[in-house]
């Protein structure tokens, strides 16, 4: 374990890729056994999603009968099949101070070994809610979005093909168009590639909510929806989550209710934030600084 901790991010990623290759045969056999069952589930989900899209096109909010429904009793199995690992669960970094965009430090000095980070210092303004970014967005700015209740799905461009990347972006867009986006509050479902310094676990997908990090070897939409159900907005622990009530009429578990997080579980700031988004100039400066960081 100590030897693995001394590896660089690139070495960890390379090691993790080798581990994934060794598991492919076993996972392929498991997927084949569940092919028929999963095919039926996928057919049902596609029908549900189509209903949501139609609702969005004709106007109006989808009812719970037309919403995305996740089978609660299958989530753990699907997480295992996707090679998911929880790295932090409702354990935010203690410092969440604001730092001006033009004073952004080397992020390696302020975030933990888990990258992309799930919490910590960030810019005063939020990053624009970006459902399907084609290039890496500012980790320093988007951490503020997490504080408001946003969910981010980062992906490794070396491990995720274009088709899967498009699928992730389409998933985020669908949720944002059906109740999860509050752009002026910096809240929504975001996705972007994460190349520098690389996903520290070496896995392909990194889900982030404030204080919570789960990394997976493979993309699975049910796993992603489950992460949203458990951690988005008022169901997470973001100190400013009150601006993001969970749209329970859009997504739910089939037989399990998820309550909003209480003040006793995680206190809120009590007031709606008014910082607003970063300007284009501030974002450009952050991206330039991020690009200049060492691995």
The structural domains of the chain, with segments of one domain joined by +, span 2-291
Residue 185 has pLDDT above 80, yes or no: yes
Grade residue 169 by pLDDT with cuts at 50, 70 and 90. Answer: very high
Between CA 219 and CA 215 the distance in angstroms is 10
CA atoms of 270 and 155, how far apart (whole Å): 33
Q: What integer best gives the mean pLDDT of the chain?
A: 83
Between 15 and 98, whose confidence is greater?
98
pLDDT grade for 113, boundaries at 50, 70 and 90: confident
CA angle in degrees (0–180, nearest 5) for 141-145-147: 110
Residue 142, pLDDT above cutoff 90: yes
Task: From 167, 182, 175, select the one nearest 227 (Cα to Cα).
Answer: 175
Which pLDDT band, with edges at 50, 70 and 90, does 22 fall under?
low
Q: Residue 261: its pLDDT value, please?
A: 98
What are the residues facing 193 on neighbouring strands? 155
Q: Closest Cα to residue 151, out of 230, 86, 218?
A: 230
* pLDDT level of residue 127 (50, 70, 90 thresholds): very high
Alpha helices in the chain (DSSP H): 2-5, 9-33, 35-58, 75-81, 139-148, 162-175, 221-231, 280-291
The pLDDT > 70 percentage for the chain reads: 71
Task: Determine how many CB atoms are found less than 10 A away from the CB of residue 71.
Answer: 17
Is residue 7's pLDDT more than 90? no
Close Cβ partners of 71 (under 8 Å, ≥ 6 residues apart): 41, 222, 253, 254
Name the token pair of 239.
């100190």
Of 17-21, 122-126, 206-210, the range with the lowest mean pLDDT is 17-21
Q: 197 preceded by cis ω (within 30°)?
A: yes
Largest interatomic CA distance in the chain: 57
pLDDT bucket at 271, cuts 50 / 70 / 90: low
Q: Please report the pLDDT score of residue 6 as a whole number.
A: 61
Q: How many Å apart are CA 277 and CA 145, to the nearest integer? A: 10
């Amino acid at each position: 374990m100590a030897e693995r901790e001394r590896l660089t991010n690139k070495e960890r990623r390379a090691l993790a890729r080798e581990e994934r290759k060794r598991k492919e045969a076993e996972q392929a056999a498991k997927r084949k056994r569940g092919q028929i069952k999963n095919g039926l589930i996928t057919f049902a989900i596609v029908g549900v999603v189509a209903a949501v899209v139609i609702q969005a096109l004709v106007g109006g909010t989808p009812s719970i009968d037309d919403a995305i429904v996740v089978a609660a009793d299958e989530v753990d199995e699907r997480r295992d099949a996707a090679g998911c690992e929880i790295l932090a669960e409702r354990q935010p970094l203690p410092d969440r101070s604001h730092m001006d965009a033009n004073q952004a430090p080397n992020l390696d000095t302020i975030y933990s070994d888990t990258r992309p980070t799930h919490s910590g210092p960030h810019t005063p303004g939020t990053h624009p809610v970006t459902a399907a970014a084609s290039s890496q967005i500012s980790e320093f700015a988007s951490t503020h979005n997490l504080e408001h209740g946003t969910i981010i799905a980062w992906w490794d461009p070396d491990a995720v093909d274009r088709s899967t990347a498009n699928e992730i972006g389409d998933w985020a867009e669908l949720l944002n168009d059906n109740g999860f986006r509050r752009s002026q509050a910096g809240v929504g479902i975001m996705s972007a590639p994460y190349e520098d310094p690389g996903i520290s676990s070496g896995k392909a997908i990194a889900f982030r909510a404030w204080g919570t990090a789960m990394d997976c070897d493979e993309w699975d939409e049910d796993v992603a929806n489950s992460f949203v159900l458990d951690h988005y907005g008022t169901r997470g622990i973001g100190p400013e989550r009150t601006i993001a009530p969970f749209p329970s009429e859009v997504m739910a578990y089939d037989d399990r209710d998820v309550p909003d997080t209480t003040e006793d579980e995680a206190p809120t700031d009590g007031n709606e934030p008014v910082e607003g988004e970063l300007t284009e100039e501030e974002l450009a400066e952050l991206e330039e600084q991020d690009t200049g960081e060492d691995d």
